[in-house]
Amino acid sequence: MTGRKIKLPAHKPAADYDVGYGKPPVSGRFRPGRSGNPKGRPRGAKNKRPKLNEERLKGIILDEAYRDITVRDGDRNVTVPMAQAIVRALAVNAAKGQHRSQRLFAEMLTTTERQNKELADAWFNTALDYKIEWDRELERRRQLGITDLPEPLPHPDQVRIDMNTAEAWIQGPATKDEKAQLDLWRERQEMFEAEREGLLEDLETEPDARARALMEEDLKQVDRVLEIIEQLLEKIGY
């Protein structure tokens, strides 16, 4: 029995195996062919960034551009959007004579004015074509005696054209909702005007001073309401 070798179990290290840092015991080792984290991060995931599509990135940029910040304006602090603060700083630097800022600001101004001009011209041409075509169509209906078709909204008479300044605008409701709102305020205007006429007639025949004083107060309130309605109608352009 002196020269007989004893076979150790597989889970125990040999007598000459040093257990320590980087050298776990056999029982704690990974089995051959099996990962220690089979459901973990895939290979190459370390350098991958979260996906951002174009629309999400636009949203982030716009959120930052119009985020309010506090800046110094003379001797006081003011709150303005980030984009406005940047443009203001660029304009100030341009006014101070910085050539790069002057060039950038001039390019921004030229581009903005050109785009606004293009939009204004497109709107003017659209409004002019709309007015001409609908004037022709309404005249055709009139000549043929067609009365069962709805009128266009906005009506061509509400489309105002200034040929001298090449400006066009709509005076009156442009949608069904605006038309419904306009009709509602007109009805209320007629109602309060009728109430006003009634109060004036009653004032002429009422002998009681106290009753007349109450009627005069009611008349003031009606006049105030009519003034508000007139301002509203003027605001919506009709």
What per-residue confidence (pLDDT) applies to 69?
A: 94
Place of tokens 């304009």: 91
Q: Supply the DSSP symbol for 162.
A: E
Q: Which of 34-48, 75-89, 155-169 has the lowest mean pLDDT?
A: 34-48
Separation CA 45–CA 10 (nearest Å): 36
What per-residue confidence (pLDDT) applies to 130?
A: 95
Q: 42 in helix, strand or coil?
A: coil
For residues 1 and 68, the model is more confident at: 68
pLDDT 10s digits, 120-160 = 999 999 999 999 999 999 999 999 999 999 989 889 998 99
Q: What are phi and psi of 161, to 5 degrees?
A: -125, 130
pLDDT 10s digits, 184-231 = 888 999 999 999 999 999 988 888 888 889 999 999 999 999 998 888
pLDDT of 111 over the 90 cut: yes
